[in-house]
Amino acid sequence: MPASPLVKAIQQILENSPDGFSLPEIRHNLLEKLGFRATPPEIREALQRHLDIFIRLADGRWASKSIVEVSEIVTGVSELPRERGNIVKPYLTDLSSLDSYIVFDLETTGLKSDRDRIIQIAAIRILNGKPSSITTSQGETLSSVFSEYINLEGKELSYGLKLKLGFIDHPEWQTQLDKAHQQSQVLERFKQWIGDLPLLAHNIRFDIEFLQKAAEEIRWLINNPLIDSMELACLACPDLRTYRLEELARFLGISAKRPVIAPSIPA
């Protein structure tokens, strides 16, 4: 029997949250991220009727069963099955050198790459373990940081998303977003800026799906090696309850307060 729209929506929410969500959090994210309204009993029934897709964790949160299985494989709790089904091969199996790479993050209007759009691309280039600028063969200097908004071409951000991303407290960011260049222009610059260095992100499957979808517009086939810092965290710290960046920073003694990198708007 085909999965219902509610089951597909819950699956989409949980596949982009490796730590899982409580039932109230699932309901909130369904409404906030996908505009999908459902009552707690409807959500609970959908979860319990599809234990082949969802799994209830020890603390009561629900998670995507396939994501949990990948995490267990990465941390050595279980082995990769011969019949893998929907299990996705961890990026750790083809890990690139960690001396030089691009750390990047995308902000998007939602969770679905074939419907939602990229709002912002932010990245930093690490060479030999530290942020570095480079000079191209044409003599152009490329900064160690890349940060640009992408023009949404008339699409409005919801109030909830503006609040989450800080637009309410920083109205000047909305002005910068309105003045931003089109997606194709930003992607061309980002393509040149990253070169052939490995790309690293936390839960990179989400970010790379959006980036690859957007790259089709400029016929950019992304062949850069991919590194998932969440997989690295699972391997290095297997006993953590959660792998959210804020919790990892706290565990490692790193300040979770991030400096604001103002997006640049090329002339």
Which pLDDT score, from 0 to 100, does residue 137 have? 84
Q: Please calculate the CA angle 33-35-41 and round it to the nearest 5 degrees.
A: 100
Same-domain check for residues 148 and 209? yes
d(CA 110, CA 133): 32
Which pLDDT score, from 0 to 100, does residue 162 have? 85
Same-domain check for residues 57 and 107? no
Same-domain check for residues 73 and 121? no
Structural domains counted in the chain:
2
Which pLDDT score, from 0 to 100, does residue 260 have? 44
Structure pTM?
Answer: 0.68
Q: What is the CATH number of the domain that holds 211?
A: 3.30.420.10
Tell me the per-residue pLDDT of 63-75, one tens digit each, with 9 for 90 and over. 887 766 655 544 4
Q: Which of 80, 113, 139 is the last residue of a domain?
A: 80
Which pLDDT score, from 0 to 100, does residue 255 have? 67
Tell me the per-residue pLDDT of 79-110, one tens digit each, with 9 for 90 and over. 444 444 556 678 888 888 899 999 999 999 88
Same-domain check for residues 52 and 184? no
Same-domain check for residues 169 and 244? yes
Residues of the chain predicted below pLDDT 50: 73-84, 258-262, 265, 267
Domain ranges, residue 227? 102-251
Which pLDDT score, from 0 to 100, does residue 69 have? 60
Which pLDDT score, from 0 to 100, does residue 259 have? 44
